[in-house]
Homo-oligomer: A and B are copies of this chain.
């Protein structure tokens, strides 16, 4: 199994984070788990990647957060804003076109 190099995620992380928050509010750790299980284990993102990215998204106004304490542990629950939902739709559009293009270009040439 060829390891997936980190850089391939570049530019797609925001889309994944927004999508992970679409159904329901989640805190950072839960987002990481959602991405891991939702990708069948393929994507297991380090905290140093996810937490700063969530902060960026909040600064950009795409998500908002609220502190909770559950079982003695502090949690910061994030949820999508209206801008966040719009951004997610745009990310989906970009992904559809980008992945279609790459898939087409990587297709093996017809044999013969």
* CB of A16 closer than 8 Å to a CB of B: yes
What is the distance, in angstroms, from A108's C-beta to the closest C-beta of chain B? 8
Partner-contacting stretch, out of A55-63, A67-75, A92-100: A92-100
Which residues of B sit under 8 angstroms from A40, Cβ to Cβ? 101, 104
Query: How many copies, total?
Result: 2
Contact across chains for B102 and A4 when beta carbons are under 8 A apart:
no
For residues 1 through 47 of chain A, which have their beta carbon under 8 Å from a beta carbon of chain B? 2, 4-12, 15-16, 19-20, 22-23, 35, 38-40, 42-43
Identify which of B16, B106, B109 contacts A16 (C-beta below 8 A). B106
Interface residues contributed by chain A, number (CB under 8 Å)? 40
13 contacts between A and B (CB under 8 A): A2-B93, A2-B94, A5-B11, A5-B94, A6-B11, A7-B10, A8-B11, A8-B94, A23-B109, A43-B105, A91-B106, A92-B106, A95-B102
